[in-house]
Every structure is written in C-alpha cells, then in structure tokens.
Amino acid sequence: MTNPLLSDWDTPFDLPPFTLISDADFAPAVDAALDAAKANINAITRNAEAATFANTVEALELAEDKLGRVLGAFYAMAGADSNPAREALQRDFAPKLSAYGSWITANAALFERVETLWNQRDTLDLTDEQARVLMLTRRGFVRSGAQLVGADADRLRDVKSRLSVLGTEFTQNLLADEREWFMKLDQDGLAGLPDFVVATARSAGKEKDAGGPVVTLSRSLIVPFLQFSERRDLRQKAYEAWTARGANGGKTDNRAIAAEILKLRAERANLLGYATFADYKLETEMAGTPAAVRELLMKVWEPAKASALSDAKVLERLLHADGFDGPLEPWDWRFYSEKQRKKLHDLDEAELKPYLQLDRMIEAAFACSTRLFGLTFEEIEAPTYHADVRVWNVTRDGEHIAVFIGDYFARGSKRSGAWCSAMRSQQRLAGDIRPHVINVCNFAKPEEGQPALLSYDDARTLFHEFGHALHQMLSDVTYESISGTSVARDFVELPSQLYEHWLEVPEVLSEFATHAETGAPMPEELLTRMLGAATYDMGFSTVEYVASALVDLSFHEGAPPADPMQKQAEILEEIGMPHAIRMRHATPHFAHVFASDGYSCGYYSYMWSEVMDADAFAAFEEVGNPFDVELAKRLEDTVLSSGGSVDAAELYVKFRGRLPGVAALLKGRGLATAS
C-alpha cells in the first residue's frame, strides 16, 4: 500500500492528506525522506564541477523538500493532537534528526564547497539576498561545529543528540502533568464562579469523564478560576498544582533534565570556543551580548517591581478585610486583583466576555489585515488532523497568498500555550511556493451549542499569533531558509506584538465586540472602561515575566548550576522578587527555554521586541490613522515581507528611520512614572 506521506497530495493547495495518514506511516516516511535528503546532499559533494552558488547553496536549499513535507505534517499533529504513538515517534525521531543534522555539518566536502564560495564572495556577482544566504549558511555550519575535528567533533555530535532527546522528554513530561491533573468541583467549589467559568469547567469535566465540573491546568480555565473562586483553599490547591508542573517527582519530573540541559549547553558553547552559552546564543541576536539583555531587563524590572509592591499592599488589605490573617499569597493575587479592578474601573471579566466571541475576534483579526494589507479570507473544506481545526484560503486581488489554519480550543492531547508554525514556508526557488501557516491556541471550549467566549488576554493572544502568521503569509523572498519568521529571535516577536495594538483600536472593538446573545455592540462606556483598564495590574504581569527572563539569562551566562532550583531561588532573592508573585514559568515547566534551543537564553526577546513594537505603532499614532495604507505598505515592504534577507536592525531602521529606546515600552505598560 502506498504511503500517503510520500505520494503526490491530491488536496486543496497541496495540504497534507491528514485523513489518509495513520501513525504507522510516519516512521517509514521519515526514513525515506532522510534517505532522499542524504542522496541530494551526496550529489552536491560528488559534483565534479567547481562550487557555484547554484550547485551548492541553492542545491542545499532544495535538498530537504521531501523531509520538510513529512515533518511539517508530523509536528503539526504531535504538538496539537498528541497520543502515545506520536509521543513515541517524537522520542525516536529526536536523536535520528539530530544525527542527520550533525552528519551535514560534519560533512567536510560540503563545508569545503561552502567555504570556497565564502572566500570568493566578492567575485561571485551575488544579489544582496544571495550574499545574505551565503553568509547565514556558512555561519550555520561554523556555529554547528563544522570546523571541529577529532574528539571535539565527536563530542559535539553526542551533546547535540542528547540535547534533542532531553528537549523531547521535557515537553512530554510537561504535557503528561498537564493532562493528568484535574480537581473536581462540588456545588460549594463553584462559589463565586461566573456562568462562563462554570460552563467551561463542565465542558472540561465531560472531556475528563469526571461526572461533573473540574478545574484543569489549562490556562484558559485555571486563570479565571483563580480570579473568581471564593474558596481560598481550592485556589491554593489549584495554583500549587499549576506551578508544580514538571516537579512532582517520578517519571515526569523535569528538574534533573533541566540541570543536564544547562550543563550540556555550556559544554557545547565551550567546544565551539565561547566562554558561556549566553555568549554563543546572543552572538546572532539583535541584543548581541548578555550585558545588553540584562541592561534592558533591569531598566524595566525596578519600576515594575515598585508598581507591583504598591499594588500588593492594596490587595493585602482586601485579604485582611475578608478575615484572613497573614501575607497575600500567590493564589490570592488574581482573586483580589479582580475585585480591585472592578472597584477602580467598574469592570469585571464576566461583564466583558459575552462581547469577546472567538468567531468575532477571528473576524476582527482578518478585517484589520484586509484594511492594512488587502488580504481576504475564505473558509474552505480541507483535510485536517482534528475536527476543531478550520482552514482558510488567503488571497489578495484574487491571487492566492497562503493557506491559514486555525486550531483554537484546549484539549488533553495539545501542549499548553499558543504558537504559530508553518507546515510549508514561502519561497520562489522551487517555483512560487505559498505558505501553509497554523495558529494554535488553548482557549476554553464551550459546551455544545454555545459560543466560545474569550477573555481580553485571550483576544490579545489571538491577535499576537495572527501577527506571526502575517509575517509568514506576507513573506516575499527567494530562499526558504530566510523566509517568514526565520529572523533573529529578539526580532521575531515584533510583528506579533505590534499586531496586538490593533485590538485596542476603538473602531475595531466597536464593530466586532458584539454580545453573544443580543448581537448588540459593546456599549461605548464599557469599551472606554475596558481600554482604560488596559494597563491595570501591569506591575504584576511585568514582574512575573521579567523574573523569568532574568532567571533564563542567569542560567546561561555563567557556569551551569548543579541545582537549577537552588539557583532560581538565589536569583529571585537577589532581585527582590515580591512574595505574592511567582515566575510566569518556573524552571520545571519553562518549555520556552528547555523544550528546545529556540528561546534558550532568549526569553527576554519578547521585551526586546516590545521596545520596537511600542515605537512602531507610535508611527501610526503620529499620522493619526491606525489604518494608514502608505505606512502599512512600508511596514510590509520592510519588516513583514523581508524575512531574514536583511539584518533585523537595518530592517527596523528602514521602517522607522531609527532604533527605539525603552521609554515607549514603559509608557505603554503604564510604568513610566512608577517608582
């Protein structure tokens, strides 16, 4: 029987034929695709002709076409709809793919051809884009150990293989802890919960076959539970389970894995000639050095901590007024903060949620991109990996631009968080290849027949991930290796965080924030109150984020800690972490940092990008029109379409005329005057 992953795909826009694929198809397909990729690379090295950009760099760009198709389909399913078979495949694929990557970078004949081109670069008459691709290709080889020989080369290969295995284990342990824990709620346990939280808890209980409502460790359920539950004992139980993910002992405990990952990363950096992993990792980022990262984070930390400590005093008085002695605890913060928000802004989430329907917020994200970039979206029938997944054809002036895929609801088979990925990236080398882009979120799924309602933070997440999708969909480069979001890690969040600003444009909410039952638009006075509260509790959210970023940085800028948990505690004590706030991501569940190298020593990048996004949106404010077409065109032509074809700082300067300072960020977070 023909393996559907290896056949031609008779599907809309050449999407993977998910309905024909079985888990048993993946292993043989990956093996066949790896063999094909190796054959293509061997053909490059055995070419008797002198190295040229076309027969070496471009041939390398095309070598993994089949492998990319197979893995694009697999990782879409493994991340968003996992099962034991797919988890086993991930464990099997991790060392196999790492070995393949090491085989490429250790291929002396291949690197020799690349090095020859690099040495001849001034005589090759390359375009700017080709010169950039050559530089990045060579840099990738060097940073992957191509210049190492003998025992050092062998050791680096082993280190990278082990790191790939550990990252997979870390992710799967975290998913297991999130999937297996839930807390049943009796009638008393529902005290204080608005109808939308009760409905979500019932829906979760149905999925868990628990016979009644439950709280799970899905952020879309546990956060509103912590905001509204009047049962302090249950808030504490749920909060401690949430923050204990990956640290519960037994086979899913991630603490030893984190320690080994940090040790191996430091060894990897040392083998490549760097003093620390932070020096190695940040060399290719906009920040450049650990010192530059720390300087930014500390500029934000002090005013954020001052704001949070001031807020904590107010919330603790509310706690004591309720008859509880002792200090404000982390499981109290959201509950009393919600009370204070209602008092200060006459606003509570239960009042807002009916106006923030998922479908209407999707429409809003689409509509903003239509006004800014001329994109239109038509929902289509196409094979998907889960019944909840939706697919749209994206066009501009009648021309196909991309396929956009939305997978919005939380489920036990999906890892936590929200992300954007491309099953297929834009490129022109192999023809006019248009991207297949996925947004994955974890919003609470409503009871059957009811509309899905979002919190304002959920709506921001939707716009954030759609900003990443725009970066992929509007890419316009020749080479896949620099397409879309293939940019510096501390630049990649600029398009996503910038797009969040359009959710705050009053005319957008006036049109799309409509009541789930009546269809009426959000009243203007409620809209005003909601936007007025946009920076409420910003001290809390900034502290929990910056603390995580500082721990990540500190882990990697010195000797690897033998006990990361002890090191984490020391870092938090040193910076004066407020008692009632914990890190957004503690070490055992810090997937950004430990699931892969993606955000390792790079969690700061959200804030680095925020410095730019605050300044970039100010450009629209300065012209008095958030939908200024000329400015949107300049944004597309510089930032969104260029991928990694130009240095990130140069792209930003092309758009804005200069690099920004931190002032716009502090102002946007309402922290400019905090002291």
Q: Which residues carry out catalysis?
A: 465
Query: What is the DSSP annotation of 260-288?
Result: HHHHHHHHHHHHTT-SSHHHHHHTTSSS-
Cα 422 to Cα 430: distance, rounded to the nearest angstrom: 17
Q: Report which residue type is found at 371.
A: R
Cα 552 to Cα 278: distance, rounded to the nearest angstrom: 10
Residue 96 CA, distance from chain mean position? 25
Beta bridge partners of 329: none
Q: Is 152 helix (H, G, I), strand (E, B) or coil?
A: helix
List the one residue out of 573, 675, 580 whose CA is nearest residue 304: 675
Return the ∠ at Cα 159 (arms to 158 and 164), rounded to 5°: 100
Residue 613 CA, distance from chain mean position? 16
For residues 451 and 358, the answer to whether their CB atoms sit within 8 Å is yes
To 10 degrees, the CA torsion angle through 322, 327, 330, 335?
20
For residues 308 and 540, the answer to whether their CB atoms sit within 8 Å is yes
Give Cβ neighbours of residue 255 (< 8 Å, ≥ 6 apart): 246, 247, 564, 565, 587, 588
Q: For tokens 């006004």, name the residue.
A: 371
Query: What is the DSSP annotation of 336-386?
Result: HHHHHHHHHHS--HHHHGGG-BHHHHHHHHHHHHHHHH--EEEEE----SS
